[in-house]
Amino acid sequence: MADGISIEIESLAASGAQAKPGGDLVLFVGEDLALSPRAAEIAGPGAAELVARGASVERFKGKAQSALVLTAPSGLAVERLVVIGTGAEEASARDWAALGGYTSGKLGSRSATVVLEWPGTAPSSDEVAAFSLGARLRAYRFDRYKSKKSPEGEENGGGGRLTLLVPENAGLKKALRGAEGLAEGVILARELVNEPPNVLDPEEFARRASALEKLGVEIEVLDEKDMKKLGMRALLAVAQGSAKEARVVIMRWNGGEDASEAPVAFIGKGVTFDSGGVSIKGSGGMEDMKGDMAGAACVVGLMHALASRKAKVNALGAIGLVENMPDGKAQRPGDIVTSMSGQTIEIINTDAEGRLVLADVLWHVQQTYKPRFMIDLATLTGAILVALGQEFAGMFSNNDELAQRLSAAGEATGEKVWRMPLAPGFDKLIESKFADMKNTGGRHGGSATAAQFLKRYVNDVPWIHLDIAGVGMGSPATELNRSWGSGWGVRLLDRLVRDHYEA
């Protein structure tokens, strides 16, 4: 796994700190276009005047997310001088990850010296770490299956080297290690979502998740024989139409002071390809259904991030991995299956399969591990796209405190959630004449009835269901991501754990 960029850190206080010859030099200015004394010293005599003249010609005002690029600048031993605007915003209110992403995007695959300083307050260790995180995430690309790679120098081309000249701060090394591990977790999630379904079937997905053992994560892989013994008949009903066997992967990171303390738990839907089964989808856009495992990808990426920074928490990740296909052995509308909980489900639509997978995994986690809370993530319904577009994930919860904490983490990371309703009226829509419930309540309130279905498998455990159909795959381009698979949710959940659940 490669993030496409190499980042080195040097101290601005070092007497030899200077721009690397042959590459770019990056400076930051506000709307007054003033350089910090150290930036002006590193750039050399005449740099401030050069910036002022260039800004006048290009009408560069130093606004946030704007740049002035001067090629072969006179008197400077660099190929390009790249001046990034930071606007009038206070440093404490700045999105440092987005600034790092924007800077990385302007450099492409070029190497550069970045003077991370400007007049006023110097960036803190956490802010420098966030900048490096954004730079790494923006540089990611998925071109494994292209015989012709992107041309050298193309924006987001990756492969460049950044040397960050930063003020000396206590805790900087620790913050940078955490940011690097978090970037690796997001990129791992993106890799999984981007992989084609003929490569990433349930067994291969389980194998890649098992690689977390190298970081100290305990791994248990359940095959179909194991699941039959446990009674995971709802999950297995989804898998029975595929030639690919299902898997459930349990990942445990015991970083808390007491290994016996109840873990925080994250559960992911991992449908490695969703044809819809017998209720087959239309052909238009079906290729995107390779991304119907974005929830599981997020959980694997999160566990990587927590283990990489040795988070002081007991955390559990559980993913249900299946392929939903219309084989002659596939489940049919009208079938009734018995879930692990003993509750029976009438199958109305075989394309409402993700909730069947989650039902058994949720039940297994809450019964076996007695977690402090459970958060599940799933590309579950197209209805959430109608409601929230691609700006928010839909959040359904039975616990106000947990929901408020996750909302705050969303605001802090930019991976935002919007709380949606749970209500007894939605339960009525999934009542069945023949079983305990139906697996779909019809067209109206589709996201809410799906969440209400899942609620029947969590008992009294504090719980959140995140419907990430709009944000987990095919998400809009941002300063942090130019990939089809966004890795959404890794930063969100890492922040939640960091802020509230670490010892």
Q: 262 with 232, same domain?
A: yes
261 lies in a domain?
A: yes
**Span 289-334, pLDDT tens digits:** 999 999 999 999 999 999 999 999 999 999 999 999 999 999 999 9
Tokens, residue 92: 């404490």
**Residue 473 near residue 295, CB atoms below 8 Å:** no
Average pLDDT over the chain, rounded to an integer: 93
Q: pTM for the complete prediction?
A: 0.95
173 lies in a domain?
A: no
Please tell me the total count of domains within the chain. 2
Distance in angstroms (rounded) separating the CA atoms of residues 421 and 470: 18
Q: 162 with 184, same domain?
A: no
Strand-by-strand arrangement of the 336-338 sheet:
336-338, 344-346, 437-438
Q: 425 with 475, same domain?
A: yes
Q: 58 with 25, same domain?
A: yes
Distance in angstroms (rounded) separating the CA atoms of residues 398 and 385: 22
Last residue of a domain, one of 166, 200, 222: 166
Beta-bridge partners for 463: 374
Tokens, residue 455: 């609620």
Closest CA to 431 of 439, 423, 420: 439
Distance in angstroms (rounded) separating the CA atoms of residues 304 and 216: 10
Q: 129 with 184, same domain?
A: no
35 lies in a domain?
A: yes
**Residue 467 near residue 447, CB atoms below 8 Å:** yes
Q: 198 with 61, same domain?
A: no
Q: Residues near 137 by Cβ (< 8 Å), separated by ≥ 6?
A: 3, 97, 101, 183, 186, 187, 480, 481, 487
457 lies in a domain?
A: yes
Q: 127 with 188, same domain?
A: no
Domain hosting 129: range is: 5-145+156-166
**Residue 103 near residue 123, CB atoms below 8 Å:** no
Residue 376 marked as a ligand binder: no
12 lies in a domain?
A: yes
Distance in angstroms (rounded) separating the CA atoms of residues 270 and 292: 7
Distance in angstroms (rounded) separating the CA atoms of residues 345 and 338: 6
214 lies in a domain?
A: yes
Place of tokens 């974005």: 294
Q: 346 with 310, same domain?
A: yes
Cβ burial 71-98 (10 Å sphere, 16+ → b, else e): eebeebebbbbbbbbbeeeeeeebbbbb
400-413 and 490-500 are packed helices; what angle lies between their axes, rounded to 10 degrees?
120
447 lies in a domain?
A: yes
Please confirm, yes or no, whether 53 is among the known catalytic residues: no
Q: 304 with 212, same domain?
A: yes
Residue 335 marked as a ligand binder: no
Place of tokens 């993106």: 190
Measure Cα distances from 89 to 36, 40, 68, 96, 229 in Å: 16, 22, 19, 12, 59
pLDDT tens for the chain, 503 residues long, are 444 789 999 888 775 667 777 789 999 999 999 998 888 888 888 889 999 999 999 999 999 999 999 998 888 888 999 999 998 877 667 899 999 999 999 999 899 999 998 777 788 999 999 999 999 999 999 999 998 876 554 555 556 899 999 988 888 999 999 999 999 999 999 999 999 999 999 999 999 999 999 999 999 999 999 999 999 999 999 999 999 999 999 999 999 999 899 999 999 999 999 999 999 999 999 999 999 999 999 999 999 999 999 999 999 999 999 999 999 999 999 999 999 999 999 999 999 999 999 999 999 999 999 999 999 999 999 999 999 999 999 999 999 999 999 999 999 999 999 999 999 999 999 999 999 999 999 989 999 999 999 999 999 999 999 999 999 999 889 999 999 999 999 999 999 999 999 98
Cβ burial 328-362 (10 Å sphere, 16+ → b, else e): eebbeeebebebbbebbbbbbebbbbbbbbbbbbb
Residue 269 marked as a ligand binder: yes
Q: What is the CATH number of the domain that holds 373?
A: 3.40.630.10
- Please identify which of the residues 355, 455, 456, 495 carries the catalytic annotation: 355
Distance in angstroms (rounded) separating the CA atoms of residues 204 and 467: 25
Q: What is the CATH number of the domain that holds 62?
A: 3.40.220.10
DSSP string, 134-168: HHHHHH----TT-SSPPPTT-TT---EEEEEEE--
Q: 387 with 253, same domain?
A: yes
Please confirm, yes or no, whether 416 is among the known catalytic residues: no
- Please identify which of the residues 244, 281, 312, 416 carries the catalytic annotation: 281
Q: 351 with 419, same domain?
A: yes
Radius of gyration from C-alpha coordinates of the chain: 25
By DSSP bridging, strand 67-71 and strand 112-115 are unpaired
175 lies in a domain?
A: no
Q: 241 with 123, same domain?
A: no
